[in-house]
Amino acid sequence: MKFKLLYFGDIFVNPKKRAQHISDIRMQFHPQLQQLLEHQPWNNLKKYMIPDATKGPITTRHIGGIDWNPIITPNLKMIAELDILLMHPEIVGVAHSDIDNRVKTIMDGLRCPQNEHEIGENTPRESGPIYTLLDDDHLVTKLTVNTSHLLATDLFPDKKNISPDSIFMLIDVNVRLTEGNLENLPFMV
């Protein structure tokens, strides 16, 4: 089962307000994942994404006054393979491009927060549940990162504030099952 996620914006290596930066990244993925859950077979997961559910393969986490719904969870016996294309305005190979720390920031933005300290203060608390790709980043079993020079910087919404930290990112997500069960049966395609 494959799909793609897009990101336009900054990926800071060591931001001063790390929790808020990670939350900003999560909030770009949230509407894409929400849209994914409107389509087959993903819409089958919505019946499990309710607060205080007693049984189900998806556990809605209530952290910091927000309900968090991960899509890939251990209970669903799903794992993810990610192929990330990072395109940025700087020339590839310049010392400024710190790929390993950028990837750590991206991975944190794809998973649920683990505690209140990982939630940014500007994260909307009244918007209903927030969807994340991963329950935790240990569910990623394969990671490929390619970088390239972005020639079309006019793609960015805020063209005046493009920095070396600005990126366009395309993430190919390949979801695989480690074991079949009744809940993940629709994903055995």
Sheet strands (E) in the chain: 2-10, 61-63, 66-72, 78-88, 130-134, 140-149, 166-177
Which has the closest alpha carbon to 71: 85, 81, 53, 57? 57
Is it the case that residue 40 has pLDDT exceeding 80? yes
Q: Give the residue, 55 or 171, on which the prediction is more confident.
A: 171
pLDDT band at 41 (very low <50, low <70, confident <90, very high): confident
Q: What is the predicted pLDDT for the residue at 26?
A: 93
State the pLDDT at residue 101. 84
Q: Are 64 and 148 in contact (CB under 8 A)?
A: no
Rounded CA-CA distance 43/39 in Å is: 6
pLDDT tens-digit profile of 120-141? 888 887 777 899 999 999 999 9
User: Beta strand pairing status for 166-177 and 78-88?
Assistant: antiparallel
Q: Can you give the pTM of this predicted structure?
A: 0.85
What burial class does residue 9 get, using C-beta atoms within 10 Å of its C-beta: 0-12 exposed, 13-18 middle, 19+ buried? middle
Q: Which helix (H) or strand (E) holds 139?
A: none
To 10 degrees, what angle do helices 99-110 and 18-36 make? 60
Q: How much is the pLDDT for 31?
A: 95
Check residue 51 and give its pLDDT: 59
| Between 8 and 83, residue with greater pLDDT | 83
Residue 54 confidence (pLDDT) above 60: no
- Residues 150-164: what's their mean pLDDT? 65
Q: Is 70:135 a contact under the CB 8 Å cutoff?
A: yes
Percent pLDDT > 90 in the chain is: 37
pLDDT tens digits, 12-30: 877 778 889 999 999 999 9
